[in-house]
Amino acid sequence: MTRARRGKKLDLDPATVRRARTLARRAGRPIVRIAQTHTTMSVERAVLRMAGVAGADADGIPWVNRLVDAVRADVGLERGVAMPVWDAMARGSHDDLTALAQRASSGSVTFRIPEGREADRARRAARRDAGRGIAAIDRRRVERERLIRRVGDAPRQPWIYLIVATGDIHEDIPQAQAAAREGADVIAVIRSTGQSLLDYVPEGATREGYAGTYATQENFRLMRAALDEVSRELGRYVRLTNYASGLCMPEIATLAGLERLDMMLNDSMYGILFRDINPIRTFVDQRFSRQVHARAGIIINTGEDNYLTTADAVDEAHTVTVSQLLNEYFAKEAGLADWQLGLGHAFEINPEVPDSFRLELAHAMLARELFPAAPLKWMPPTKHMTGDVFRGYLLDGFFNLVGAMTGQGILLVGMMTEAVVTPFLSDRDLALQNVRYVLSAAGNLHEDFHPQPGGFIQSRAHLVLDEAVALLERIAAEPGPAPLLAAIGDGTFGLMKRPADRGKGYDGVFRQADDYYNPVTELLEVGHHA
């Protein structure tokens, strides 16, 4: 999916680059061990969704929530839901798992941990039903590949990424189709504000979201069908993005795979830092989610741009690089390939800073050369948008130019009224004109642009990389068995202090018992060697 990259222009020291990755791996390994030895409410609900549990009760609470709550009340979740649930299926006369969930919610089912032959029977049944869900995700991936071959793909990179989210999925659809006709290659449906803090996934098509549209399976299905329709009309496949983050990250990742989404926002630390979700909950959920994304052929987008909205984009540039290296390690450990790593960064330096454009160029080139095969996601200016639409349009043009000069893979369309008001459709049209002009006029400028050896841009890139290595060394020196958790608790990233034993969702984290069983993880890890 990514084109061959240019030769090295920054003259980065290979030993320093290797050192950075070694330190990221050292910081990340204890986190992976924690993820491998813990489970969460959402992981267990995702297992049931993979096996076909669907629907919600009259209050809108999904049956998977009711079923997991019932299992937890009877036997706890330290052994997972699979064994008690499929044991109950074998002992009862339930038509399917959803019917079991409905009866369990009324107290009509009692759960236990089976043993001996009954345990073997429950394990086989769980693996069979979970396997059907994974097979469905496999079919959707093949379907995507066939459709791209049939209708064609976007003719060039960067892909133009545009946000559409009115709160009403039935209004989003015509706007998304119109955006595709105007040149958008990727449509991102922003989630309704606060959905990341809901410990359940809403059900059905929704028409009332605030500053976004709820992520639901039915909304995914409707938007995917609409974009398939416009893809056939335009002769190029239009990709769909949503968010696999928050307290229901594993479930939303599962639903995305089942409904053939193409990209998901899935950052290793965003929920911890900016939503105060418990760090262990986030890392456990993230690993499961990324295993699903790897299987589904979904590209992840990470959220390093958010660091620069709370901290200075010059002084804290190295924290972006550190986060990118950590995201890369966690992603590859979970099975994602380079072409699936939409690592994030942003054009957020104060334009009043001398040489701000050169600094942005240095930072973007550094990301490009550290991750040459990844489709980097380049984010537009928001923090320093003032409401002056002329200045904003110029800043977005400079942002687009850096994207062209540095070969970014995914270019989020910036609008001149971004972060000031909800942009009008006319603002979107002008923003797309800006992107089209820059890419047409300067899209191949990366072939000609080479910074002066030892000059400002090279020196700045070297400094940021050195500072990133120094920060990773400080993280590695943190006390305790998981230094990265200590660093997050100390406020190392985004100026947010998030201790490992606090935060939303911590009561939904469980250390696995010795006989814990998860059929989905077992199937996803077959043949994967980190």
pLDDT digits (tens, 9 = 90+) for 17-70: 999 999 999 999 999 999 999 999 999 999 999 999 999 999 999 999 999 999
Residues 25 and 53 in one domain: no
Tell me, yes or no, whether 26 lies in a domain.
yes
Active site residue 11: no
Q: Look at residue 16 and tell me if it is in a domain.
A: yes
Give the mean model confidence (pLDDT) for residues 70-88. 98
Do 368 and 493 fall within a single domain? yes
CB 213 within 8 A of CB 176: no
Which residue has tokens 């990844």? 374
- The arithmetic mean of pLDDT across residues 333-341, rounded, is 97
Q: Are residues 207 and 330 in the same domain?
A: no
* 309 and 336 in a common domain: yes
pLDDT at 102: 95
Domain shared by 269 and 345, yes or no: yes
pLDDT of 494 = 66
Do 48 and 67 contact (CB within 8 A), yes or no? yes
How far is Cα 90 from Cα 122, in angstroms, rounded to an integer? Answer: 7
Domain encompassing residue 468: 6-37+252-379+444-508
> Pick the residue with more confidence: 199 or 388?
199
Mean pLDDT for the chain? 93
Looking at the 3D structure of the chain, how many domains does it have? 3
Considering the domain architecture, whether residues 169 and 60 belong to the same structural domain is answered as no
Closest C-alpha to 160, from 77, 238, 274, 256: 238
270 assigned to active site: yes
From the list 200, 270, 329, 393, the catalytic residue is 270
**Do 258 and 216 belong to one domain?**
no
Query: Is residue 17 domain-shared with residue 91, that is, in the same domain?
Result: no
Is there a domain that residue 386 lies in? no
In terms of domains, do 266 and 360 share one?
yes
Is 4 buried (19+), middle (13-18) or exposed (0-12) by CB count in 10 A?
A: exposed
- Give tens-digit pLDDT for 284-315: 999 999 999 999 999 999 988 877 777 789 99
- 199 is an active site residue: no
Rounded to whole angstroms, the Cα distance separating 12 from 267 reads: 26
Choose the catalytic residue: 237, 377, 427, 516.
377
pLDDT digits (tens, 9 = 90+) for 137-163: 999 999 999 999 999 999 888 999 999
Give pLDDT tens digits for 96-108.
Answer: 999 999 999 999 9
pLDDT for 207 beyond 90: yes
375 falls in which pLDDT band (50, 70, 90)?
very high
